[in-house]
Amino acid sequence: MIGTLFLNEWRAVLRDGSGKVVLLLGALLAFGAAWTSASTHDRQEFAQSAATHAARSAWDQREGDSPHSRAHYGDFVFRPNGPLAYLDSGLQAVTGRVIYTEAHRQNTAMHKPQQEAASLLRYDRLEPATVLQLLAPLVLVLVGFGVVSNERESGRMRLLWIQGVRPMPLLLAKTLALWSLGTLLCVLIVGAQLIFADQMDLGRTLTFLALHLLLLWIVAALVTVVSARTRRPGTSAAVLLSLWVLCGIVMPRIAAMTASALDPLPGRDAFQAAMQEDREQGLDGHNPRDARRQKFEKEVLAKYNVNSRDELPVNLGGLIMQADEEYGAQVWDKHFGELEEHLQRQDRLAGTFSFLNPIQATDRLSMEIAGTGLSSHLDFLRQTEDYRRELVRKLNEEDAYGVTRNDEGRLTRTTTHGFYTGFEAFHYEPLGLRDLLGQRSMELAALFAWMLGTTALLAFTAGRFERRGIL
């Protein structure tokens, strides 16, 4: 019975003019989104590759620098696109993907195409994730708002009932038909992307597909339930479109605003000022900087068992720079750690809205699967800072130890050009899928709760028809 009803729904879609239009639009959207996303992705990859090459060449070809000058010259760090950025570019456009690394300073990311956009509002791009999270549910609403209420209004429900159709198989068949339409859109969109993309992470792609199929099941079940519980198709359409606007447009904004209002982040200037203050005053705020330097110098002289800087076999300046760098790193760790904790707290607060909005849960999980979400960004910042510290440490140590004292007692540098060209460029290692999903257990729980809830609602609605009759 379910199969017969299911096939009949598909026959209606394929024979009905509006059904064909919806399918055609869906296919156009799939290929449009795949093409625009892939071309943007390719353009970015090309530009990034060129910039990486240019930065490396400039680093390699530079001459006459002391190691510390080279630490000030710095290096550009480029974050590669997330493994599935062509399906979901996530927060990349907001968070930025290029960081200038240098001695003494931890810079923020540059090149943010959406510098002015609020961090959680990202639905302004035609990309596969947007189509699957916003437009595919809308397609299901438009195709399915009358899926049961039309049967009732036209009087067909009576005939179906008399012919022995029971409510649960009827509602299940309607839901499955809608879901299969969503599945077709999903497969078209992801499949089209694979045509344009030159590489594929199968595990992530299948997880991405499964996630969106789960969302579309929730939407299909919800559309069927609303259509079954409203007397007229017009009412059903109004209710479902309102829900779509609420979940797709209004609630993500409310979530972001609520999180900002309840737990506001410090402004960028305040954050920098606080860090600067600690940098100048020391961690405990009692030891003047000069005193620390004098103490450090005495420790070095004692270590080398000499009385003055001129007798040292190393360049004291390099050691001081490294000590200063390590102190700066502690300050950064303290402030960035607090900021990261704050960001994650705010993120968790915004994430609780996933229990109210399955689209939001899907959005957050989708970004993480694609490697373009907040966790990946914070991980990129950490890996960049690790790279910067290592780079500056090597340069400072060369500044300190890449010297020899000549017969006249003067320090001369032994650093060769090969030392600089031997540096490995930054390589970002994306977080594994399991780690990323592990950080989104709340969203996963919310989505499964939605799936169970809507399926239970379907069964409850069918039971109600069974008990009270279908009128």
Partner 1 sequence: MIELENVVKEYPGHRALDGLHLSVPAGCVYGLLGPNGAGKSTTINLVTGLLKPTSGHIRVGGIDAVAEPLRARNILAYVSESVALYPHLTGRENLQLFSRLAGRRLEESESTACLERAGLQADAHGRRIGTYSKGMRQKVGLAIALAKDAKAVVLDEPSSGLDPGASHDLAERVRELASGGLAVLMATHDLFRARDTCDTVGLLVHGTLRAEWKASEVQDHDLDLEAAYLDLVNDSSHQSATSNSVTSKSA
Residue ranges that bind partner 1, judged by CB under 8 A: 1, 4-5, 8, 11-12, 15-16, 154-156, 158-166, 468-471
In the complex with partner 1, which residue's Cβ is closer, 160 or 184? 160
DSSP label at 135? I
Backbone phi, psi, residue 91, to 5°:
-95, 5
| The residue to which tokens 């991405």 are assigned | 208
Closest distance to partner 1 from the beta carbon of 130 (Å): 32
Closest CA to 373 of 46, 43, 42, 120: 120
Longest dimension (CA), the chain: 111
In the complex with partner 1, which residue's Cβ is closer, 64 or 155? 155
CB 197 within 8 A of CB 144: no
Closest distance to partner 1 from the beta carbon of 170 (Å): 9
In the complex with partner 1, which residue's Cβ is closer, 162 or 202? 162
What the block records as the tokens of 132 is: 């699957």
The Cα–Cα gap between 186 and 212 comes to: 7
Angstrom distances, CA of residue 321 to CA of 71, 287, 325, 331: 10, 18, 6, 15
In the complex with partner 1, which residue's Cβ is closer, 8 or 414? 8
CB 209 within 8 A of CB 186: yes
Closest distance to partner 1 from the beta carbon of 11 (Å): 6
| Sign of the dihedral defined by the CA atoms of residues 306, 311, 315, 316, in that order | positive
In the complex with partner 1, which residue's Cβ is closer, 158 or 231? 158
In the complex with partner 1, which residue's Cβ is closer, 11 or 295? 11
What the block records as the tokens of 244 is: 């779509």
Closest distance to partner 1 from the beta carbon of 156 (Å): 4
Closest distance to partner 1 from the beta carbon of 141 (Å): 20
Closest CA to 363 of 16, 125, 168: 125
What the block records as the tokens of 326 is: 């390590």
Closest distance to partner 1 from the beta carbon of 167 (Å): 12
The Cα–Cα gap between 369 and 204 comes to: 6
Closest distance to partner 1 from the beta carbon of 26 (Å): 19
In the complex with partner 1, which residue's Cβ is closer, 154 or 294? 154
What the block records as the tokens of 221 is: 């079940």
In the complex with partner 1, which residue's Cβ is closer, 12 or 444? 12
Closest distance to partner 1 from the beta carbon of 9 (Å): 10
**What is the number of alpha carbons within 13 Å of residue 211 lying toward its C-beta?**
31
Closest distance to partner 1 from the beta carbon of 171 (Å): 15
CB 128 within 8 A of CB 189: yes
In the complex with partner 1, which residue's Cβ is closer, 16 or 280? 16
Backbone phi, psi, residue 150, to 5°:
-65, -40
